[in-house]
Structure 1
Amino acid sequence: MAGEGSSKKETVNPKAIIHQRFGDKARYNIEEVQDNSSNGCPGLVIPQKGPCLYRCNLELPEFSIVSDVFKRKKDAMQSAAEKALEKLSDPPVEDASDQLVSRLSYLFSNEFYSICHPLSGHIRAALQRAGSLNGFVPISVMPIFDSKISNLCKSIKPETDSKPLEVMSIIRDASTRLSEPVLVSNEFMSLKRTTPYPPEVLESIEVDFDQKTYVNVLRIPYLVEKVVEPLTLDVSANTYYMDAIARELGAADASMVSLSRCIGKSSSETRLYSHAPNSYKWNKEDFEDKSYLNARASYLSGQDVYGDAILATIGYLWKSCDLFLEDVYPRTYYRLLMNKVPTGIYKLSREAVLAAELPPKFGTRSNWRGLFPRDILCTFCRQHRLPEPVFSLIVTKDAPEETSRCEVKIFSKSQNLILHCYPRESFKKQSDAIQNACSRILSLLNDYFKKLNMPREGLTLTPCRNGLDLDFYPEHISKELNLFSLVCKNLLAIDDDTKQSNGVDDIPSYNIQGPDSEVFASNGCIVCVCYSAFLVNEGEKELLEKNDEFEFELGTEAVIPELEVVVGQMGVGQSARFKAKLPSLELIFAANGDPARVSSLLSSRGCSLEYSTTLLRVTEPLEDRMEKALFSPSLSKQRVNYAVQHIKESGATFLVDFGCGSGSLLDSLLDYPTSLESIIGVDISVKALARAAKTLHSKLSTNSTNPVQSSRLKSALLLDGSITTFDSRLYDCDIGTCLEVIEHMPEDQATQFGNVVLSSFCPKILIVSTPNYEYNVILQKSTTQTQEDDEDKNSAKPCKFRNFDHKFEWTREQFQVWASDLAGKHNYSVGFSGVGGAEGVEPGFASQIAVFKRGFELTEGGDLAVVPYDVVWDWRSTDE
């Protein structure tokens, strides 16, 4: 019998009534409303501070209605539904409680038994249960496998969405009102049709008692220190698979098993099964003791799971009456975990768990591989049951050209603001503005996940601001996110002390094999490699991951550092083997499907990760392709020749390359006879400096390899630091070079560099080159246009920058104004020239160059104690 007061009908909310009447034909369109009540200037929009306001437009087949303005979206939707009901002249539809009774009656009818439906599969399987359980269907499966029952229960009591025990109670009470008797078992929380099915229905069940069916599943213990354990379940046709799961969980029968929503793809039957409390026998509060909370299962499902859990892919589908099942391995579990963090989502999209890394910034379609930042961000929100991100484009038309910025907001389920990104950087393409904003958010989320692995006292949850363009309120994120620190201790953890930052010693040792094709990759090139990753221990090997064609852009940190360093030294067709730092166990198990073998190797000491890779092909960056199409020798070679000529004429012995990158200029200089005795390169990219160290070291370590420079050069030094910060080791050099560097920094930082280098470093000569923006029209016409270019070829829009990473590109006038102002301010003279093109011929040189010459003698040696740069590589001649 139903409990006291159970016959009292709950009030059905207006939105539920509209849904019952119109179904999917009722469309709710939410509009964000700006509160400009304090704005007295027509046409001027003042950004609203505080919570957003919302208005809802409800479209019905017969008419549409607009709600009042509310702080919450759900209130606006209910208001629109209420107004629509007032306008409708027909009486309300049938009460949800009555509909639930009708639905249950249909589920136990002969007609429903004969169709292929997930719930009818459970009913047929229940008829194979032995003893007193024969025919009983667990109430817990009904709202899971029949969406109509689930929606009706929510209409009756909306808060039941997160309370499965109350859903079961609603269904049990509704079953007592059925006209055709259904037996309700309070002990087992199950339902059974009291009248037998017709013989022809029962005869349709054909069971082969000799055929055995097994499926691999995982046990996820609630104690985090216990490992995830593979199991095998017997789910033969003469058994009910829910009973097999119940036995593994120590439950009395299937009715005591709680099911989660689908995990991963919504079309999947991958679910978590756990021991459910029985509200009629147990004290729910006693059972749900936090000490029994299963952090791993709760994090995966987004629901509170207590006690041990079973992760399985098994169930009945719509189009087949047979039981669907797939094996679940530890690899499945760890990939499900990875798919909930931004870096993991990117790795899985590249199908390169052990090789790929989420790039720190977005480029363009030509160089970004894998899911785009926006797709990754949307996937992240879906995985954490958050609303879709809200994108707002701000278009500026008063500039020389139309540009766009993108603001992004992420809200919690209760519409609390979690994150607001409002970057100031503008883009000519709206898609680039969106992708760059999403990339910035992903970087923040990655940093936040890493902090979750810190001790609680080191984790700050107060609002933070990153670069004045992003506000973050992590306390509003779903509580499941806070379980990450217990579940994925090593998935994103990075030990700053073990990063590759110590130069040559941290470069992986490798042996390049194969003939030298003289086709090498440089930063910006798209390289394609094949690779295999092995777990190695005392001669034993286990393949973890293999990829026959894997593309990435060199220099964008889109792969592990070791792979990027090695590929940067290889020629097309060459192969190499190298060892890398052992990754986290989560990543190893996510890549490999044989946990027993991997665990055996990992249990022994001395285990390491070994890669073998072959460089298949190299595609040069667009900038290089443009330059090579017009210039011979290449523009970069012409810049080196220009610098060498000035070195020879000046008799310089001490050179500093500001922004040396991977050392292409320094490497090229060693091939010319000059007076140089000491060279220093400085850059902010440790990875680029590591590549430069490897190249220079191999060239300088043996005199016979470079007889031109080996007899004169005495020292070479690579330093990690910002060229806008003074370091006394670079003071008073004979000549400084800064070739194609300043355009990679914001314009104000380029001016800051000019001020610092001329006032503090004080080189005798400084050579600065940068692209001439006016020349781009010639360069871009010289290369094959992409489809994107073809769409814009008839437009009057200005040319694109030569490289996606360029923050600006100056015209000749802009560059000369910048250089002349600096020279006059710091007592330098400046002359202008260039390479690529001819002087006096429009539109000038492809690379414009300014040569600064010091107009004063230094009287003091400067502060020699200022050495903020870190030494990455230090080479001394054996003669020294």
Structure 2
Amino acid sequence: MTQVEAMEVEETPAVVAKKPLPTPKAIIHLKYGKNACYKTEEVLESVQTGCPELSILQKGPCLYRCSLQLPEFSVTSEPCNKKKDAEQSAAKLAIEKLGIQTTTSNLTMQEAHDELISRITYLFSDEVKFLSSLHPLTGHFRQALRRSEGGPHGLVPAPVLAAYDSKLNNLCKYINPKAESNILLTVELIMGAARSCSSVVTSEETFWISKQTPYTLEAKQELLNKNSGFKEDISVEALYIPCSIEKPIKLVSLDVLSTGYYMDAIAQKLGIMDTSHVLVSRIVGKASSEMRFYFSAPQLPLQADSTSSPSKKETMDPDATLNARACYFSGQEIHGDAILAAIGYSWRTTDLFNENVSVNAYYRMLVGRLPDGGYKLSRDAILAAELPSKFTNRSNWRGSFPRDLLFTFCRQNWLSEPEFSSVYIDESGQSEILETSKKLKLSNPSKEVYENGGTGDANGVGSVGQGGTFRCEVKILSRNKDLIIEYSPQDAFRKPNDAIQNASLRVLSWLNKYFKQLNVPTEKYSSGNIHGIRVYPHTIQTEFALWLSVHNVHQYSKQNELQSFHIEGQDSGVYPSSGYLACISYSISLKQPGEHMKELLEICDEFEFEIGSGAVTPVLEACVTQMSINQSACFISELPPRHLILAAARDHANSLSLLFMQDCCLEYSINLIRATEPLEDRMEQALFSPPLSKQRVEYALKHINESCAATLVDFGCGSGSLLESLMSYPTSLEKIVGVDISRKGLARAAKVLHSKLNAKSEALTSNTSIKSALLYDGSITVFDQRLYGFDIGTCLEVIEHMEEDQASLFGDVALGFFCPKILIVSTPNYEYNPILQKSTPSSQEEKEEDKTEFLPCKFRNYDHKFEWTRMQFQCWASDLALRHNYNVEFSGVGGSGDLEPGFASQIAVFRNRQVHQANQFRGTEEMTNHYELIWEWDSSCNSRSSL
């Protein structure tokens, strides 16, 4: 399928049942979304009482007036009895001013033609109401009148009428839906209707339209008395977009004379002899930008039947002339070379609007249409930020929310708005799905209503019925309502908003991955449901044909996670780890190694992100997790894709020249300003002194000393907090080992342990007997024979971060295969949560987020997959001990085991009944080493690292 055919298929109208007409406010929301701002105020009016001498004013009925602010203009309604009526009234005024047709669906084809003729007749009349308005076309009529000088009475290009008058545009789309994307067809329809107007004059070979008779003196004065020009000549920067995608875009200058017409300047730059043959696209980017594409009309004869589209036999090869980049941004067919310029008349003023368009702005628009680009732009961090891999909670999220990002992506890529369906699951689990919650449209678009009676803010608080959880299904459809992607998650959430945000993020993440693997055959995605995502390959290829052609020139390569970090400053001992909210200042420059010349690309004084959420580039997060507060770091990274650099570049010319140099790289400079602990840690510190984390270390230390353990393995060691803490106490340990699946955490653990162990080995007196330390990358649910038979194993506050079946698997692997003499497992006591959460100093955002009085108590950490009561934990541990021939005893830290609700952190201590089992096992089994050794230290030759 060719690209032109793909665009034509997109515009074919689907046969659907008639729907009620949308309200004026709904129409405005569809066009402007959040950019439409309603402000309602009460109107105080006095009432005549029939007693003229009464000095007390009598209050009349309560009335409301609404002011609607749009990017182009503002309107104010008349006083109304109700607030919602005032808002609808203001929206209706805006629709009338914009010329949006709301009743065309009731017209016959002949009536639509008649309306088109009537509209053209009105525009070229002496109607003072129109000529005195701020309608953008009045500026063009004014210029035409000044240029006439005894010739035809105000020649106006038909493409200008097509671009600037919404009523004409909507009538053309109603007559022939293909006019939505085919600008030339719209112009032909207007020219055909103009020939039927007795009050205008048209040309057979050009697209000029002029008034048949001279303007009246009053009408002429109304036009000419308004300032629509400028005292001096102006020069406006614009972009020249070649038809061939292989040719680079370039900066051009549009020179407009003070007495000239800007369309003439554009025609001259395009090499077009007749200005009426310059076609104009719809607005690209922000509605207030007046940024449009200008291009030459293809050499096609006008159709006798204006309801038909140009015959393909009469056209040149459509794909050969299609300007893919311009089509991609405008959603319209644009052929040949084009100019992207921000110049023209608007609703805001009679003056000519003009603004420079830079190469940087073009690439920012390009980035903004990527699945992850909206997030990068919302953070104003194109190089540093990445679309997060998970939505943990609203208070830690920075930038636009996933739901808003998904809406923006669909809108910018000319798709239908995403459809959400919230599924409510009863807490009893007897019936998996009790009811599906469908979003209902309200007067306030930021609110959603669910059929079960709950409500939710699109970006905030959600409240549900009694208990239960939510899942959210998402469908992405083309403009013709063909399915592109549907997502049915397995994960459930306690709040409908969390379900919506997570589902939106999952879809965006899939799209992001898909568009960065363009070489992967589409058939791979047609094999059914992958992680809840079902893709329709034919539809996605059709809808994103232009996307693929534009972005296929950009190469995506995976950056190496780590070269080396140069960290400076005093070590404060506070390192951000997973769940921390880090705040950094940074700068990123483009440079050539060994050279002094470099170009600053991106800089930020305060940038917050959650560690472990994937909100920044992997190499940046890896560096930050090895820094302590107030330290600074510098490192070199490979180049990201070229379009990201140009979107971030402040000086395009310098950056582009550097890009062509060999061995270019990015230089990062970072300062760690602060690190806010996760909510779980703050809750514990608010109630317990010392904190629970330290009490758990002391509990493990007690058993280490009592058992005289020489070897210890920490399952799920993370960033090494337990192993690091053991350095501060005298123990019998000679060998310590940590295992985790996070290489970033292991890198931080290696740095801290290396520093402390070397310092102690160099000290004259030391309280540690440790001779070796090792860190392994691997899953604690997989056995590795090198860790078999240790004296003591620890797994502190780890299993709750796994799914319950994985936690059970770990118990079987730990006791059935690793077989430590002692295993200490701790996990939060769910019954203690109400006490912890009442004592926590919460931020205002967290307080607002937790207005869910009907919900059961929440988990301590947003990453917890479960939290057990005392009975659940004891049943799990007792069953494990029985099956693997261990004894188990229960204890805890924080609170008292003799009082309700028990310990805050519950602990199970498993003791192996067969101490000689290790030798028997090693003699009968041959196992593979599944773990990767990441770092090793011994007292004789210090550390070796494979990081």
Q: TM-score normalised by the shorter chain: which range applies?
A: 0.7 to 0.9
Give the equivalent residue in structure 1 for 2:4.
Answer: none
Measured after TM superposition, the shift of residue 374 of structure 1 is 0.8
Q: Of 375, 382, 396, which aligns to 2:404?
A: 375
Q: Write out aligned runs for 1:201-212 (5 A).
A: 201=221, 203-204=224-225, 211-212=232-233
1:441 aligned residue: 507
Does 2:194 correspond to 1:175? yes
Partner secondary structure for residue 511 of structure 1: strand
Alignment partner of 1:739 is 2:796: yes
State how far apart, in whole Å, the 2-side matches of 1:209 and 1:371 are: 39
Match of 1:804 in 2: 862
SS of the aligned residue for 1:699 comes to helix
Any idea what SS the aligned residue of 1:544 has?
Answer: strand
Aligned in 2, Cα 1:729/1:828: closer, same or farther, shift over 3 Å? same
2:635 aligned partner: 578
Conserved 8 A contact 1:17-1:92: no
Q: Of 739, 743, 750, which aligns to 1:693? A: 750
Instruction: Give, in whole Å, the separation in 1 of the partners of 2:564 and 2:339.
Output: 41
2:523 maps to 1:465 = no
Letter of the 1:405 counterpart: R
Match of 1:727, as an amino acid? D
Q: Which residue of 1 aligns with 2:280?
A: 259
Counterpart position of 1:339: 368
Question: Residue type of the partner of 1:873?
Answer: W
Q: CA deviation at 1:346?
A: 0.6
Shift of the alpha carbon at 1:766? 1.6
d(CA) in 1 for partners of 2:506 and 2:229? 58
Alpha carbons 1:462, 1:474 under 8 Å: kept: yes
d(CA) in 2 for partners of 1:18, 1:433: 31
Letter in 2 for 1:512: E
Q: Does the 8 A contact of 2:172 with 2:179 survive in 1?
A: yes
Moved more, 253-262 or 322-331: 253-262
Contact 1:412–1:478 (CA under 8 A) maintained in structure 2: no
In 2 relative to 1, CA 29–710 (structure 1 residues): closer, same or farther, beyond 3 Å?
A: closer
Whether 1:419 and 2:481 are equivalent positions in the alignment is no
Secondary structure of 2:823's counterpart equals strand
Residue 649 of structure 1 aligns to a residue in which SS? helix
| Whole-angstrom CA distance in 2 between matches of 1:196 and 1:252 | 27
2:452 aligns with none
Structure 1 vs Structure 2 CA RMSD:
3.4
Determine whether 1:823 maps to 2:887.
no
* Pairwise CA distance, 1:16: 11
Contact 1:670-1:706 within 8 A present in 2 as well: no
Q: 1:461 to 1:791 in 2, by over 3 A?
A: closer
Equivalent of 1:239, from 255, 260, 263? 260
Change (3 A) 1:471 1:709: farther
C-alpha distance in 1 between matches for 2:904 and 2:320: 68
- Looking at structure 1, the residues matched to 748 and 654 of structure 2 have their Cα atoms a distance apart, in angstroms, of 36
Q: Contact (CA 8 Å) 2:112, 2:174: kept in 1 or not?
A: yes
Conservation of the 8 A alpha-carbon contact between 2:141 and 2:154: yes
For residue 69 of structure 2, what is the aligned residue in structure 1?
none
Q: Partner of 1:387 in structure 2?
A: 416
Alpha carbons 1:213, 1:234 under 8 Å: kept: yes
Q: CA deviation at 1:863?
A: 5.1
| Counterpart for residue 510 of structure 1 | 566
Q: Deviations over 1:95-144 (max 9, x none)?
A: 11111111101111233444321222223334466999994322222222
Superposition pairs of residues 640-651 of structure 1, within 5 angstroms: 640-651=697-708
The aligned runs of 1:179-328 (5 Å cut-off) are 179-180=198-199, 182-198=200-216, 200-201=220-221, 203-204=224-225, 211-280=232-301, 286-328=315-357
The residue aligned with 2:542 is 479
1:701: Cα distance to partner? 4.5
Provide the residue aligned with 1:124 in structure 2.
Answer: 142
Q: 1:275 to 1:675 in 2, by over 3 A?
A: farther
State the shift of 1:347 in Å: 0.9
Whole-angstrom CA distance in 2 between matches of 1:741 and 1:26: 49
Question: Which residue number in structure 2 is paired with residue 53 of structure 1?
Answer: none
Relative to the length of structure 1, the TM-score reads 0.84
Counterpart-to-counterpart distance in 2, 1:708 and 1:367: 44
Q: 1:392 to 1:658 in 2, by over 3 A?
A: same
Displacement after TM superposition at 1:465 (Å):
1.8
Say whether the 8 Å CA contact 2:577–2:745 is kept in structure 1: no
Please, which runs of 5 or more residues in structure 1 have no aligned partner?
1-12, 31-60, 62-80, 86-90, 501-505
CA contact (8 A) 1:278 1:284 kept: no
Distance in 2 separating the partners of 1:705 and 1:480:
65
Quote how far apart the aligned CAs of 1:279 are. 1.8
Quickly say closer, same or farther: Cα 1:620–1:685, change in 2 above 3 A.
same
Secondary structure (helix, strand or coil) at the match of 2:246 reads coil
Q: Give yes or no for contact 2:298–2:335 (8 Å, CA) kept in 1.
A: no
Amino acid at match of 1:462: S
Where 1:175 maps in the other structure, the secondary structure is helix
Q: Does 1:748 align with 2:809?
A: no
Change (3 A) 1:793 1:560: closer
Give the distance between the partners of 1:125 and 1:16, measured in 2 at CA: 43
Distance apart, 1:318 and its partner CA: 1.1
Show the 5 A alignment for 1:529-568: 529-537=584-592, 538-568=595-625
Distance 1:24 1:104 in 2: 25
Check whether the contact 1:219–1:311 (CA below 8 A) recurs between aligned residues. Answer: yes
Deviation at 1:273, TM superposition (A): 2.2
Does the 8 Å contact 1:727/1:869 carry over to 2?
Answer: yes
Work out whether residues 474 and 486 of structure 2, in 8 Å CA contact, stay in contact via their aligned partners in 1. yes
SS of equivalent residue, structure 1 residue 264:
coil
Q: 1:177 to 1:458 in 2, by over 3 A?
A: closer
CA-to-partner distance for each residue in 1:583-605, whole Å, 9 max, x for gaps? Answer: 22211111123101112222323
1:766 aligned to 2:795? no
Residue 103 of structure 1 is matched in structure 2 by 119
Amino acid at match of 1:337: L
Whether the 8 Å CA contact 1:107–1:120 is kept in 2: the answer is: no
Matched, 1:142 2:205: no
Cα distance, 1:119–1:794 mapped onto 2, change above 3 Å = closer
Letter in 2 for 1:806: H
Q: Map of 1:401-420 to 2, 5 A cutoff?
A: 401-420=467-486
- Partner of 1:563: helix, strand, or coil? helix
SS at match of 2:910: strand
Segment drifting more, 690-699 vs 127-136: 127-136
Residues 694 and 586 (structure 1), Cα distance of their counterparts in 2 relative to 1, 3 Å cut = farther
Alignment check: 8 A CA contact 2:228 2:352 kept: no
- Distance in 2, matches of 1:592 and 1:798, equals 49
C-alpha contact (below 8 Å) 1:674/1:709 kept by paired residues: no
| Aligned residue type for 1:509 | F
1:39-188 mapped onto 2 (5 Å cutoff): 95-110=111-126, 111=128, 112-127=130-145, 135-180=154-199, 182-188=200-206
Q: Compared with structure 1, are the counterparts of its residues 709 and 305 closer, same or farther at alpha carbon in structure 2 (3 Å cutoff)?
A: farther
Deviation at 1:147, TM superposition (A): 0.5
What residue number does 1:55 align with? none
**Structure 1 residues 162 and 573: CA distance shift in structure 2, 3 A:** same
What TM-score does the superposition give when structure 2 sets the normalisation length? 0.78
C-alpha separation in 1, matches of 2:548 and 2:755: 44
Per-residue CA distance 1:80-101 (angstroms, 9 max, x = gap): x99x97xxxxx98981111111
> Within the alignment, does 1:726 sit opposite 2:742 as a pair?
no
User: For 2:591 and 2:216, how far apart are their aligned partners in 1?
Assistant: 63
Q: 1:289 to 1:102 in 2, by over 3 A?
A: closer
Aligned length: 800
Structure 1 position 791, deviation (Å): 8.5
**1:526 paired to 2:590:** no
**How big is the shift at 1:832?**
1.3
Quick check: 335-344 or 196-205, which moved more?
A: 196-205
Query: What secondary structure, in the 3-state scheme, does the structure 1 residue paired with 2:253 have?
Result: strand
The alpha-carbon distance between structure 1 residues 266 and 707, as it changes in their structure 2 partners (threshold 3 A), is farther
**1:195-219 Cα shifts (integer Å, max 9, x gaps):** 3335644754779897221111112
The corresponding residue for 2:936 is 874
Contact 1:719/1:872, CA 8 A, preserved across alignment: yes
The worse-fitting range, judged by mean Cα deviation, of 266-275 and 621-630 is 266-275
Please tell me whether the aligned partners of residues 386 and 616 of structure 2 are also in contact (alpha carbons under 8 angstroms).
yes
